[in-house]
Amino acid sequence: MLDLNSKIPSGPLEQKWDKHRFEMKLVNPANKRKHHVIVVGAGLAGASAAATMAELGYQVSCFVFHDSPRRAHSIAAQGGINAAKNYQNDGDSVKRLFYDTIKGGDFRAREANVYRLAQVSVNIIDQCVAQGVPFAREYGGLLANRSFGGAQVSRTFYARGQTGQQLLLGAYQALERQVGLGKVRMHTFEEMLELVLVNGRARGIVTRNLLSGAVTSHAADAVVLATGGYGNVFFLSTNAMYSNVTATWRAHRKGAAFANPCYTQIHPTCIPVSGEHQSKLTLMSESLRNDGRIWVPKAQGDRRPPSQIPEGERDYYLERKYPSFGNLAPRDIASRAAKEACDDGRGVGPGGLGVYLDFGDSIRRLGRTTIAERYGNLFDMYQRITDENPYEQPMRIYPAVHYTMGGLWVDYNLMSNVPGLHVAGEANFSDHGANRLGASALMQGLADGYFVLPYTIGDYLASTALEKVDAAHPEFRAAEQAVRDRQARFLGIKGRRTVDSFHKELGKVMWDYCGMARDREGLTKAIGLIQGLKEEYWRNVNVPGSGDSLNQSLEKAGRVADFIELGELMCRDALHREESCGGHFRTEYQEDGEAKRNDEAFAYVAAWEHAGEGQDPVLHKEPLAYENVKLSTRSYK
C-alpha cells in the first residue's frame, strides 16, 4: 500500500508555510557538509536547488546528459515568469495569484502547495535581479510587466522573448560558482538510468556516461529528480529533442507513484506542422496574445488570402466567446477553440490546420517599431521557419503539446512516496492541477529549487537515521547489471525498424486518441495499439553501433522504450477519469462545448503504482480538500 500522506501543515492557509518552516528540523552547519545530495537535471529547478544546497553547505553532485548544464530545456521558455509583486498597482496580491492558479488548474491542484508558490513568487524576482537577470525595465528604471493568459492583472516579468534563457543562466551561473568553489561536483554527459533504493530509501543512482559508455553508481543521502516533463511522448511537441521521461519512469518502476499522467498541456500558439519530415514544433510565446488577435474566416472553406478577407467576414472567436478575457483566455480553452474552428472547416493554411494570429491592428496602433521591440526575435524565428513575414501577413498558428502537469507524486515537502526521493519542477505533479497558466512553469521550477527543497531536504536529513551506504552495496551492483543487460538487449535485437519510426508511431497514437479530445472508445483502442507497439519494439527495433562510445541511437532506444510504457499509463489515466477538466477533455463530458468536471467523483489526485512487468498499474487516490476556495465552474466569459 502506498503512503500518500500529503503532509500539508495544519493551520490557516496563509500561515502554513511559515509555520512549517519553523517546525522543520535544521541541520547544523558543521553537519551539512557530511551530507551528500544528488541532483539529476540542471534546468531551473535542478540548477537552483543544487546551487542553493551547496551555498548552505551540503555536498552536492549534479548530473546532466548535456555537454553543459546551460543546455537544459528551461532555456527555451520565452514569455515570462509570474510573481505577485503588484508593481503595476492593478490589484494583484498573493491571494489573487493563488486563486488564479487554482482556478486556471481547474480545481485539481492542492491549495497549500499553490499558496506557497504564490508566496515565494515575490522572492524569486528579487533573487533573480540580485543575480543580474536583465528583466525588462521602464525608462524610470523600474521593472516592466506584461499580461498572460488566465489573469486580468499584469504580473509577468520578462526578458524579451528569452525569459527562460535569462533565468536559467542566472541559476547556471550560481551553480557554476559553486562548482568553481568545489561545493558541487558537476557530471556532464552522464545520463541517469536507474534509481537505487536501500532499505526502502532512495540512496543513489546509476548513470551511463554518454561518451565512454561507462556505467557507474553514485551513492548519496538523498536524491532530487529535476528532469523535466514528458511531452515528447507525443513525438511532436515544443519540447527539446532530448527531453524525456526516463529518470522519472525508472523511479516509478522502483516504486514512486506517477500522478495525473493524463494532464497534458496543449499550447494554442505554435507554428503548424509543415510536412512528414517534421521533427519538433516551435512555440510562439503566449505573450503574443497581448497584441495579436486570433481569428478564422466566418465561412467554411474560405481560401482567400487573409488580406482579402474583409473585417466583417472574420470570426475573432476568442473575443466573441470569452469577452472578458478575449485573446488571453487560458491555454486549454484557447487550444480547444482553435481545434473546434478547424474541425468546423474554417482552418487556414495547409490541410486547414491553422488559425490566424494577426498583428495588423497593433502595428497600426503602436507602430512597427514597438511591435518589433516586444516580439522581434519571435517574428524573426517565425519567418525563418515559414518563409512568411508576420509584419505583413498574420501568423498561422495551431495547438501543440507543450507541458505536462502530471509527474511523480510528491508531498508538501516535494518528497515522493519513496523516502529520500525528492522531485522538483515539471517532473513533479504538484502545483498546476489539470492546466498550467502561462508564465507559471518558470515560477514553479525556481520556487522548488531556490525556496522549498533546500529547507525540506534539511528536515528529511535531520529527522532520518541513515546507515552508511556506498556504491559497492549489492543494490547498486544489481542496478548496474540491469542497465548493462537492458543495453545489451537493445543492441542485440537487430530488427528492421529505426527507433524514430517507433517513436513517431507512438506519437501519432497519443495525439489521435490522448490529445486535445479524448473518449472511451479511442483510449481503449490506443491502449491496445500501444501494447502491440511495445511487443514489436522489443522484437524489431534496430539499434546500430556499440555500447562503449557515443551512440545516440542507443540513448534514444532507452528513452523511447520508457515513453511507450508511459503512453499506456497516460491512456489508462485518461480513460479512468470520466470527467473533463483543464487539459483533459473527454468528449463525453461537456456542456455547451466547455469542460464538465465531476467534483463529487473526481476531486482527487490519481497516483498510479507500478505493479510489476505485465501487471496492470494500481490506482491510488489522494483526495483534494478545498477549504479556502469554492469549487466553481471555471468561466472566462
Partner 1 sequence: MKITLNVWRQPASQAPGKLERYDLDGVSADMSFLEMFDMLNEQLTMEGREPVAFAHDCREGICGSCAMMINGQAHGPWKGTATCQLHMRAFRDGDIITVEPWRAAPFPVVKDLVVNRGAFDRIIQAGGYISASTGGARDANEILIGKDVVEEAMDAAACIGCGACVAACPNASASLFTGAKISHLGLLPQGQPERDRRVLGMVEQMDLEGFGHCTLTGECQEACPKEIGIDVIKHMHRDFLTASARRQEPRAATGGAG
Nearest-angstrom CA–CA distance, 436 and 418: 26
Residue 209 touching partner 1 (CB under 8 A): no
Binding of residue 206 to partner 1 (CB under 8 A): no
Query: Could you say which residues in the range 108-167 bind partner 1, by CB under 8 A?
Result: 123, 125-132, 134-143, 159-160, 162, 165-166
Nearer to partner 1, 52 or 265 (CB): 52
From the list 6-14, 63-71, 253-261, 603-611, the region that binds partner 1 by CB under 8 A is 63-71
Measured in degrees and rounded to the nearest 5, phi and psi for residue 79 equal -70, -50
DSSP 3-state assignment of 607?
strand
* Residue numbers 272-291 binding partner 1 by CB under 8 A: 274-275, 277-280, 282-283
CB of 134 to partner 1, least distance (A): 4
Q: How far apart are CA 561 and CA 325, in angstroms?
A: 42
Positions in 34-53 near partner 1 (CB under 8 A):
48, 51-52
Please state, in angstroms and rounded to a whole number, the distance separating the CA atoms of residues 291 and 359: 6
Q: 173 to 202, contacts with partner 1 by CB under 8 A?
A: 173-174, 176-177, 179-180, 186, 188
Q: Contact between 242 and partner 1 (CB under 8 A)? A: yes
The three cell numbers locating residue 79: 514569455
Q: According to the binding rule CB under 8 A, does residue 87 interact with partner 1? A: yes
Contact between residue 168 and residue 51 where contact means Cβ atoms under 8 Å apart: no
- What minimum distance in Å lies between the beta carbon of 559 and partner 1? 13
Pick 392 or 500: Cβ nearer partner 1: 500
Q: Which of residues 312-371 bind partner 1 (CB under 8 A)?
A: none
Is 400 within 8 Å of 283 (Cβ atoms)? yes
Judge residue 154's burial from the number of C-beta atoms within 10 Å of its C-beta, 0-12 exposed, 13-18 middle, 19 or more buried: middle
Residues whose CB is less than 8 angstroms from the CB of residue 189 and which lie 6 or more positions away in sequence, other chains included: 64, 65, 66, 67, 209, 210, 211
Shortest separation between residue 204's beta carbon and partner 1, angstroms: 24
The piece of 288-296, 307-315, 330-338, 543-551 that touches partner 1 (CB under 8 A) is 543-551
Q: Minimum distance between the CB of residue 277 and partner 1, rounded to whole angstroms?
A: 5
Give the angle 278-260-533 at the CA atoms, nearest 5°.
Answer: 45
Is 545 one of the binding residues for partner 1 (CB under 8 A)?
A: yes
Query: 130 vs 465, which CB is nearer to partner 1?
Result: 130
Q: Phi, psi (5° rounding) for residue 67?
A: -80, -15
What is the footprint of partner 1 within residues 429-488 (CB under 8 A)?
450-451, 454
Query: How far is it, in rounded angstroms, from Cα 480 to Cα 457?
Result: 26
Alpha-carbon distances, residue 43 vs 22, 28, 63, 226, 415 (angstroms): 29, 28, 11, 7, 18
- Helix (H) or strand (E) run with residue 113 in it: helix 111-131
What residue has cell string 547556471? Answer: 172
Identify the helix (H) or strand (E) that includes residue 622. strand 618-623
Binding to partner 1 (CB under 8 A): which residues in 488-527? 498, 500-501
Give yes or no for a contact between 397 and 306, defined as CB atoms under 8 angstroms apart: no
Nearest to 571 by CA among 537, 606, 612, 525: 525
For residue 224, the cross-strand partners are 39, 422
374 in active site: no
Give the binding range for partner 1 (CB under 8 A) out of 269-277, 402-410, 416-424, 584-592: 269-277
Closest to partner 1 by CB, 141 vs 310, is 141
d(CA 115, CA 100): 11
Residues 597-636 that bind partner 1 (CB under 8 A): none
Q: Is 71 in the site for partner 1 (CB under 8 A)?
A: yes
The stretch among 73-81, 251-259, 435-443, 568-576 that binds partner 1 (CB under 8 A) is: 73-81
Q: Which of 331, 374, 559, 634 is catalytic?
A: 331
Q: Closest Cα to residue 499, out of 565, 544, 452?
A: 544
**Closest separation between CB of residue 615 and partner 1, Å?**
33
Instruction: Tell me the one-letter amino acid at 291.
Output: D
Tell me how far, at minimum, the Cβ of 145 lies from partner 1, in Å: 11
Closer Cβ to partner 1, 141 or 623, answer by number: 141
Residues 411-430 within binding reach of partner 1 (CB under 8 A): none
- The footprint of partner 1 on this chain (CB under 8 A) covers a number of residues equal to 80
For residue 546, what are the contacts with CB-CB under 8 A and spacing of at least 6?
213, 491
Range 293-312, binding partner 1 (CB under 8 A): none
26 binds partner 1 (CB under 8 A): no
Q: What are phi and psi of 201, to 5 degrees?
A: -110, 145
Toward partner 1, which CB reaches closer, 172 or 608?
A: 172
Distance CA 449, CA 422 (A): 11
The interface region with partner 1, picked from 532-540, 541-549, 601-609, 617-625 by CB under 8 A, is 541-549
Closest to partner 1 by CB, 478 vs 550, is 550
Q: Would you name the residues annotated as active-site residues?
A: 331
